[in-house]
């Protein structure tokens, strides 16, 4: 087995995670349904190494900056750093050689948990500072808990996320019901926020009472984070996904969430709308929006990110 095919198996009685060090990636996640049968609930590819020829970030940890930085222009403490461009004139998920394409070191593992580490050197994809990231995955009962911690030796920006695409059954997630605990969304142009924070009421982005999400690739403001956000705070309810006899509930400690319904998928094994990515994160392009929660990380500080995904039978 090559390093790219390495898998770490974590399991409880009702949840089974196959974790790949390549991209600190949720390669497979299986949950027991109401009848006791195992069901795959995330999109993947046949082999882990296949992700090196794929640009959809399936199941990966994305960074150093999840989502987009406009024009790849990053200013930290008055110094401008040019990041590589890889999406419509902007930098997406840390650039073309982001954390999703790195093989993370396994530093600890047990039948129910694993911890991985990545050292991202100064100048990596144009970002300043050497950043050391720890990713921890833990399976307990019907919940997958994922947490990231990062430290730096020089001022930089860090915003990570897990890019799993969920599908609870069938061949498409277009028939799933999505509930978002978000009263506001961020309008975008070519994926980059305009700076406006808009009310979801009366728009197709109003999923507070649940509905089919349709064609979405937008950032939302998690309820309770409209007027600020304190790192390390309690987990907040972010989303609920329901379909084919299963319910997935996601909670996280981030102020925003990106929802992408995979409408642009155009090649096997996954067709358009095959899954729904629900990505807790800092807002996109925060370096150009100082009024939003900051992604700046300084020496002596610790960046933290935590989410819990719980999958239960729909009763």
* Dist CA 48 CA 221 (whole Å): 33
End-to-end CA distance of the chain: 41
Residue of 163, 181, 270, 283 marked catalytic: 163
**Integer angstrom CA distances of residue 79 from 74, 92, 122, 131, 176:** 8, 21, 14, 18, 45
Tokens of 175: 């028939």
For residue 148, the Cα-to-chain-centroid distance in whole angstroms is 11
- Name the token pair of 112: 């129910």
Q: Which residues pair with 65 in a beta bridge?
A: 159
Residue with tokens 């009366």: 202
**66 to each of 19, 33, 53, 89, 283, how far by Cα in Å?**
20, 32, 20, 16, 9
- List, in sequence order, the alpha helices (H) in 55-131: none
CB 108 within 8 A of CB 73: no
Residue with tokens 């990515």: 277
**Structural contact between residues 113 and 139, judged by C-beta atoms closer than 8 angstroms:** yes
SS (H, E, C) 172-222: CCCCCEEEECEEEECCEECCEECCCCEECCCCCCCCCCCECCCCCEEEEEE
Angstrom CA distances, 128 to 67, 72, 149, 258, stand at 18, 13, 18, 25
Name the catalytic one among 115, 138, 249, 279: 279
Integer-rounded Cα Rg, in Å, for the chain is: 18
Active site residue 279: yes
* Token reading at 60: 């990966």
Catalytic status, residue 163? yes
SS3 236: strand
Residues catalogued as catalytic:
163, 279
């Amino acid at each position: 087995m090559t390093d790219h095919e390495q898998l770490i198996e974590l399991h409880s009685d009702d949840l089974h995670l196959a974790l790949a060090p390549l991209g600190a990636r949720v390669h497979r996640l299986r949950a027991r349904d109401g009848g006791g049968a195992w069901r795959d609930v995330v999109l993947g590819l046949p082999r882990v190494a296949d992700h090196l020829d794929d640009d959809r970030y399936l199941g990966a940890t994305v960074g150093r900056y999840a989502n987009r930085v406009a024009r790849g222009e990053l200013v930290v403490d008055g110094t401008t750093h040019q990041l590589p461009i890889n999406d419509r004139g902007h930098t997406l998920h840390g650039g073309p050689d982001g954390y999703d394409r790195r093989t993370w070191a396994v530093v600890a593992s047990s039948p129910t948990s694993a911890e991985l580490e990545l050292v991202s050197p100064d100048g990596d994809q144009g970002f300043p500072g050497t950043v050391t990231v720890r990713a921890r995955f833990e399976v307990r009962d019907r919940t997958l808990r994922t947490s990231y911690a990062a430290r730096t030796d020089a001022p930089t920006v860090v915003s990570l996320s897990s890019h799993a695409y969920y599908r609870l059954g069938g061949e498409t997630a277009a028939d799933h019901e999505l509930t978002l605990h978000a009263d506001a969304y961020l309008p975008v142009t070519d994926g980059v926020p305009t700076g406006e924070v808009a009310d979801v009421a009366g728009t197709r982005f109003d999923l507070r009472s649940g509905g089919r999400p349709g064609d979405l690739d937008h950032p939302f403001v998690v309820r309770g984070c409209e007027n600020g956000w304190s790192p390390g705070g309690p987990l907040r309810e972010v989303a609920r996904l329901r379909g084919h006899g299963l319910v997935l509930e996601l909670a996280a400690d981030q102020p925003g969430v990106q929802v992408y319904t995979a409408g642009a998928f155009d090649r096997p094994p996954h067709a358009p709308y095959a899954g729904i990515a629900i990505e807790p994160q800092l807002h996109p392009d925060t370096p150009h929006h100082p009024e939003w929660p900051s992604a700046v990380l300084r020496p002596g500080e610790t960046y933290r990110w935590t989410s819990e995904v719980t999958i239960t039978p729909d009763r």
